[in-house]
Structure 1
Amino acid sequence: MDLEARIIAASEECDLIRASGGPDDALLADAPTLDPYEFEQISAFRIFRGIVRGHPQLHDGDQISTTLVIAVDPHLRWARTLTGWYRLRHPK
């Protein structure tokens, strides 16, 4: 899937989930956690940087930068990036 198709698919998924009140506990149960984290604007893009735990491909405690942020919970409990969901804990 090319980048444009991935962005569209992630955005459509977020629209459906927002319409139902946000992601449910089951969806977020397996999502990695960023704690602490910070939000960063890079040109026209938004990302999160933080310490990850529970990621299927990264080590707990790794400092990471996420892929493009597609959606963020207004209460900063979760974020949807181009590649998946993250649970947000404590901002830096």
Structure 2
Amino acid sequence: MKLQYAPADTLARLVDDIRLAETGSLSSIDFDGAPTLYAYRTIPYSVGVLSGIVEGHPKLRSGREISTSQVFFIDTEHGVARTLSRWYRLDVPALRRDR
């Protein structure tokens, strides 16, 4: 049996982006086409994902609440997150509900 979660070129782009992020080179990445997540929050599944209202996603309708694929990098100070398939710009986080 063969199982391939992602094509090699997708994984190569992910690795290249994480290397840039690790070296502090986020300014060299073009985030203009990246979708934005509003009211985002991390979801504690077995892998990290984000949930929020999306805007500007190439495949999903704006204004819809989504859960992303696995998050491999997140920098809330710069307001960006990298999932398997793409960068997201992070806007306002969801309001915390303290118990």
Q: Same fold (TM over 0.5)?
A: yes
Counterpart amino acid of residue 45 in structure 2: I
Distance across 1 between alignment mates of 2:78 and 2:43: 14
* Aligned with 2:20 (options 7, 16, 39): 16
Secondary structure of 1:39's counterpart equals strand
What is the TM-score normalised by the length of structure 2? 0.76
* Aligned with 2:36 (options 33, 42, 51): 33
- The CA RMSD over aligned residues, in Å, is 2.2
Higher share in helix: 1
Q: What corresponds to 2:62 in structure 1?
A: 60
Change in CA separation of 1:41 and 1:76 when aligned onto 2, cut-off 3 Å: farther
Shift of 1:30: 0.8
Identical amino acids, percent of aligned pairs:
36
Distance across 1 between alignment mates of 2:44 and 2:9: 20
Q: Say which one has the larger Rg.
A: 2
Distance across 1 between alignment mates of 2:45 and 2:26: 26
Any unmatched runs of 5+ in structure 1? none
Aligned residues: 89
Distance across 1 between alignment mates of 2:55 and 2:25: 22
Shift of 1:12: 3.9
Shift of 1:49: 0.2
Secondary structure of 1:29's counterpart equals coil
What is the TM-score normalised by the length of structure 1? 0.81
Any unmatched runs of 5+ in structure 2? 95-99
Counterpart amino acid of residue 39 in structure 1: T
- CA displacement, residues 46-71 of structure 1 (integer Å, 9 cap, x when unaligned): 00000000111111101100000010
